[in-house]
Amino acid sequence: MIFFISLIKVEKVYASDFSEAKLQQYILSPFALEIIIFVKNIMIYFNLLILFFIFSPIILVILNINLSYLFSINILLGLSLLSIVFISSMTSSITISRNNKLSITSVLTLPLFVPILIFSMAISDVIDFDINKLYIFFLAYFLLNLAFSPLLTSFALKKLSV
């Protein structure tokens, strides 16, 4: 659910905010395009995080999961959502480019989402949610995405769109 909502939300923001005229303004601005992309991704992250935090208790009740796990599940959600938003920005920048309207971006970026899905399932199988080593994976995976995502997104926006 997080994957699809995030992908749609990020693509919608990128399609409207990185149109051809706005992209030229961003490129000519005194700030690097990577910083603009980073700030946009963080704002999208907070927007989605608030939405998911509001609806997570309802989902736990529907799935008949004990509400004492709410805090742990929300930490897991927040850490995995960071990586999902940054990966989605790369996907969106390829999708909205002029030259690649027919690109199959889901095939290109699906391998980047697989570790998040695997470790999310591993944590959800644990009964007590107190395993901190698995949470460290999400933080490390986000830092890896943080290192490459703004660079690759700005490259795709600059080279493929212009």
The total number of structural domains in the chain stands at 1
Look up the domain containing 25 and give its range: 2-161
Mean pLDDT of 56-70: 81
Task: Write out pLDDT tens, residues 90-123.
Answer: 878 777 765 555 555 556 666 777 777 666 666 6
The alpha helices in the chain, defined as continuous H runs, are: 2-17, 20-28, 33-62, 70-95, 105-125, 132-155, 161
What is the pTM assigned to this prediction?
Answer: 0.75
pLDDT bin (cut points 50, 70, 90) of residue 43 is very high
Question: Residue 134: what pLDDT?
Answer: 67
